[in-house]
Amino acid sequence: MAAPYVEQGLSKPSFLQGLFRLPARHNAVIEINNLLARAAQVTDVTADEVRTVTDKYKTALPHLHVADRVALYARYDEYALKDDEVYDEEAQDLQHLQALLALSAEQTAHIHLEHAGRIYQEQVDNAISAGRFTDDAREALQRLAKYLALSEDDAHGIIMERVGRLLNDQARRMTANHKISPDQEAALATHAKELGVNLVYDSKDRALLEKYRLMWRIEDGDIPEVPVPITLQRAEKCYFTASVRWLEYIRRTTRVRYSGPSFRFRIVKGLYWRAGDMGVQVVSKDVLTPIDSGQVYLTNRRVVLEGARQNVSIPISRIIDFHTYRNGVELEKATGKNPFLEFSHDIPMFALLLRRLLHDQGK
């Protein structure tokens, strides 16, 4: 008996099949399975025997569901890999099954890659789990690929996918706080080299990496300066600039309410006298109001607005806190009104820089 196949009972015809005496074509697949189950070897089942089955059900092999034929092949392919090796006899059996079930080489290669690839992937993960890819491990995987009948391209693709996944996981852990230090970056490159690969970044990854480098410099290193057209004070350095709107909360009256007891009485037709006390209540609220717009500069000493109407300068020493929002940052000052800087990009960068500057001043 061919081990992966077990004899099965035939399915009962459906009501319509019985009514119109239609053959239950799924039983053709079951009978082919039973031929394989009763055979001493897979190669003992002939194309003529399969054709006898399909003629019985008034069909042809290519008309049977591909998924059913693939399942029959996949069962033996997985069985052949049970000891992580495809022997010559098993390879011949698989070739025989491919022709017997009218499957294409592409279909059977996909099935085999799924089964053998899963075994190979596990061994690759074991080989690189220590963080290095030794020559002995490479040689062992080359032998395994041969035993599993994996092509060089498929084996190499699996290795690159698993190594890439390992390095990506390490990079994600390193940049969980959205920054990366020079030491961390060097360690990642060294790890990649030990695994036998070179780190290559696309344009999106390079931009993200540059941002994480900058984040680290802002929090832990020397903050990079940006050139600006305004005149700075002695020893003053500018770290950030952007186009902004400057807004402040201004109290405005929204409506006036009248209340209090009152009554009226008629003097003549159409004319009434209203008597009583009238209470007046003014309702007002703080409204965020645009004050100016222009360019904001964040330096190691102050926040500067070069606006269309006026220039404003707030020393860092007067800022006691700040609050970030989706569309900008509110500065909390020791005295006076708290300005709101509205801008559309690099808000986290501005907030990180301001936090560093406040920290450096001991706040």
Convert the pLDDT of each residue in 195-249 to its tens digit: 888 888 888 888 889 888 988 988 888 888 999 999 999 999 999 999 999 999 8
Q: Can you give the CATH number for the domain in which 350 is found? A: 2.30.29.30
- Asked, for residue 336, whether it belongs to a domain, the answer is yes
* Cα gap 191→183, rounded to integer Å: 12
What was the pLDDT predicted at 264?
59
pLDDT in tens, 89-109: 988 999 999 999 999 999 999
- Asked, for residue 73, whether it belongs to a domain, the answer is yes
Query: Phi and psi for 291 in degrees, rounded to 5?
Result: -105, -45
Cβ atoms within 10 Å of 229's Cβ, excluding its own: 8
Residues 99 and 154 in one domain: no
* Cα gap 215→292, rounded to integer Å: 30
- Asked, for residue 129, whether it belongs to a domain, the answer is yes
341: domain range? 238-252+286-360
The answer for residues whose C-beta is within 8 angstroms of residue 189's C-beta and 6 or more apart is 199
The answer for residues whose C-beta is within 8 angstroms of residue 168's C-beta and 6 or more apart is none
Residues 242 and 214 in one domain: no
Residues 25 and 133 in one domain: no
Whole-number average pLDDT of the chain: 86
- Asked, for residue 151, whether it belongs to a domain, the answer is yes
pLDDT above 70 covers a percentage of the chain that reads 86
- Asked, for residue 266, whether it belongs to a domain, the answer is no
Residue 362 has pLDDT above 80, yes or no: no
pLDDT in tens, 150-204: 999 999 999 999 999 999 999 999 988 888 999 999 999 999 988 888 888 888 8
Provide the pLDDT confidence category of residue 14 given band limits of 50, 70 and 90. low
Residues 245 and 296 in one domain: yes
* Domain total of the chain: 3
Select the highest-mean-pLDDT range: 9-13, 127-131, 163-167. Answer: 163-167
Residue 74, CB half-sphere, CA atoms under 13 Å: how many? 12
- Asked, for residue 232, whether it belongs to a domain, the answer is no
Mean pLDDT computed over 268-281? 56
Please answer whether residues 199 and 188 qualify as being in contact, where contact means their C-beta atoms are separated by less than 8 angstroms. yes
What was the pLDDT predicted at 242?
94
- Asked, for residue 149, whether it belongs to a domain, the answer is yes
Residue 252 has pLDDT above 60, yes or no: yes
Pairing of strands 238-259, 311-315: unpaired
Structure tokens at 204: 């999106």
* Cα gap 64→29, rounded to integer Å: 8
What was the pLDDT predicted at 271?
62
- Asked, for residue 2, whether it belongs to a domain, the answer is no
Mean pLDDT computed over 273-302? 76
Residues 329 and 243 in one domain: yes
Pairing of strands 319-325, 271-276: unpaired
Residues 93 and 184 in one domain: no
CA angle 135, 141, 143 (to 5 degrees): 105
Provide the pLDDT confidence category of residue 259 given band limits of 50, 70 and 90. low
Residues 158 and 247 in one domain: no
Residues 144 and 208 in one domain: yes
What was the pLDDT predicted at 319?
94
Select the highest-mean-pLDDT range: 55-69, 244-258, 279-293. Answer: 55-69
pTM: 0.63
Residues 76 and 187 in one domain: no
Residue 1 has pLDDT above 50, yes or no: no
Residue 2 has pLDDT above 50, yes or no: no
What was the pLDDT predicted at 53?
92
Query: Phi and psi for 26 in degrees, rounded to 5?
Result: -65, -25
